[in-house]
Amino acid sequence: MLYKVHLIATLIHILSAVYWLGAILITMTVLGPVMRFQPGKIATPIMSSIQNRVRRFVLVAIVLFAVTGSFNLYYRGLTDLGFFGTSYGRIFLIKMIPVAVMFAIYFSATLILRRLSPESNGTCCELEEGPKRAGRVFAILHMVALTSGIIVILMGVMLRG
């Protein structure tokens, strides 16, 4: 029975990752470029609405990551600190670095963007005259988050093997 719960937890963990990285990719490759050259009064409300909705789902994904990841550690019997001396533990610790980067970006991006451009509502789109500083920072934050996510996936595959 516990094995079935582990499989479901792993599936939820992976689906949460797919959603989060997919949201980053869609934002970077579709929404951002399209909205970047729209008038601010059109782009800002649309991007703000989309990003707020996506952020709520990503927050759910973060909670699911924490719960399913903790359960999977428990399932593997890795609840004491002794596992950090194992190769699994070292890979897990290294994996937590890009995870922390992704979480930090998620929880700080809106604040950073609002500080750079209060009229942008924390989105990339204060951009009526082409890309500005907030738009560049928006793109950089998403690139760093995407790169971190890819590293997390690779580290997760290493843990399974």
Q: 21-32: b or e for each residue (b if 16 or more CB lie within 10 Å)?
A: bebbeebbeebb
Backbone angles phi, psi at 22, to 5 degrees: -65, -40
133 contacts: CB under 8 Å, gap ≥ 6: 116, 117
Average pLDDT of span 70-79: 81
Backbone angles phi, psi at 76, to 5 degrees: -80, 0
pLDDT, tens digit (0-9, with 9 covering 90-100), for 16-31: 989 989 988 988 888 8
Question: In this model, does residue 129 exceed pLDDT 60?
Answer: no
Higher pLDDT, 40 or 96: 96
Cα torsion at 131, 136, 138, 142 (round to 10°)? Answer: 120
Question: In this model, does residue 59 exceed pLDDT 80?
Answer: yes
